[in-house]
Amino acid sequence: DIQMTQSPSSLSASVGDRVTITCRASQGISNSLAWYQQKPGKAPKLLLYAASRLESGVPSRFSGSGSGTDYTLTISSLQPEDFATYYCQQYYSTPPTFGQGTKVEIK
């Protein structure tokens, strides 16, 4: 199975901050990467797929980049509703695997 490692595990940030979360795969995944946002007690919500393609309805302050084994999720200007846990997921090979999550908290 491909291992996905996110960093950091948690971060504190203020409204308006630029936030970057990194996801590293144990082998190359050819941009087959999705990002999800999960708020407490709620289901995950798809934000991006194919590493950089924004899901319909997701605000443009979310963006993704990367290649090979290393990928990033960037929130350009953190909003109050963005405080949540973020997960990456590779779908390059079966089984799909998730990172351990990055919790974005209010500073």
- CA distances in angstroms from 8 to 34, 53, 87, 96, listed in the order given: 17, 23, 11, 21
Site for other proteins in 74-93 (CB under 8 A): 87, 89, 91
Q: Binding segment for other proteins among 19-27, 66-74, 75-83, 94-102 (CB under 8 A)? A: 94-102
Running DSSP on this structure, what letter comes out for residue 96?
P
Q: What is d(CA 26, CA 41) in angstroms, rounded to the nearest whole number?
A: 30
65 touching other proteins, by CB under 8 A? no
Query: Could you list the residues that contact other proteins (CB under 8 A)?
Result: 32, 34, 36, 42-46, 49-50, 55, 87, 89, 91, 94-101
